Amino acid sequence: MAGKVFFGVSMSVDGFIAPDSPEELMGKQWMELQRWVFPLRFFRENLKLGKGGEEGRDNDIARETFERTGATVMGKRMFDAGERMWPEEAPFHTPVFVVTHEKRVPWERPGGTTFHFVNDGIEAALEQAREVAGERDVRIAGGGETILEYLNAGLIDEFSIALSPVLFGSGIRLFEGVDAGRIALEQVRAEHSPRVTHLTYSVRER
């Protein structure tokens, strides 16, 4: 059985997942968007921030998302931002397929993350990811534009939103430009923690 293709992001109540540019000052709101993640034991361990941290349902969900993922796909903008920020042991621990026009040999990081640079489009990147993921799932990690390309192409099976109690007012909207006439959703589940609401939807064509 082939795995699913999914994405999972933190979103503000007004639908934003990031500030307009990585440099932009969105301090308070950005921190509030991600507030549920930072204290988690899984997050701290995975980003080598030190031992300890919170356990509980939020932590389980973060860990389950990681464990289901057999391969990762991301856009060039996410890779460029991450290349400067990730620790040497990048936090994916799977093959990562970067959709880009740049030609580059695979970049192997300690801990099982190898970045492959795919020059022939989102479908080719996904095909390669599916192959290495086997029965596990493929995560479309980001950014927003790349997620939307996959969604509008009908290539997403399921997605999860961690809806954080914050309003952005401006920034990058997750669903800006979504082909709403083609995409129907079904609720899969909703789980509430003190910091965030986890919403999962499956996707089908109308």
CA 73 to chain CA centroid, Å, is 9
For residue 69, what are its two tokens? Answer: 């993922």
Peptide bond into 15 cis (omega under 30): no
CB 160 within 8 A of CB 36: no
- Is the CB of 82 or the CB of 171 nearer to a copy of itself? 171
Phi first, then psi: what are they for 171, rounded to 5°? 135, -155
- Distance in Å, CB of 12 to a copy of itself, minimum: 8
- Rounded to a whole number of angstroms, the minimum distance from the CB of residue 15 to a copy of itself is 4
Nearest to a copy of itself of 133, 166 (CB atom): 166
Q: Is 2 or 180 the residue whose CB approaches a copy of itself more closely?
A: 180
Shortest Å distance, C-beta 23 to a copy of itself: 18
In angstroms, give the least distance from the CB of 81 to a copy of itself: 23
The smaller minimum CB distance to a copy of itself, of residues 118 and 148, is found at 148
Measuring CA to CA, which residue among 140, 182, 132 is closest to residue 160? 140
Q: Which long-range contacts (CB under 8 A, 24 or more apart) does 123-127 make?
A: 123/153, 123/155, 125/73, 125/97, 125/98, 125/99, 126/5, 126/73, 126/97, 126/150, 126/155
Taking the complex as a whole, the smallest distance from the CB of residue 160 to a copy of itself amounts, in Å, to: 12
Judged by beta carbon, residue 49 or residue 180, the one nearer a copy of itself is 180
Determine the 3-state secondary structure of 43 from DSSP: helix
Q: Where on the chain is the footprint of a copy of itself (CB under 8 A)?
A: 13-15, 28-29, 32, 161, 163, 165-170, 173-175, 177-181, 183-187, 189-192, 194-197, 199, 201, 206
Nearest approach, Cβ of residue 187 and a copy of itself (Å): 5
| Residue among 39 and 111 whose Cβ is closer to a copy of itself | 39
> Of 97, 118, 116, whose CA–CA distance to 108 is shortest?
116
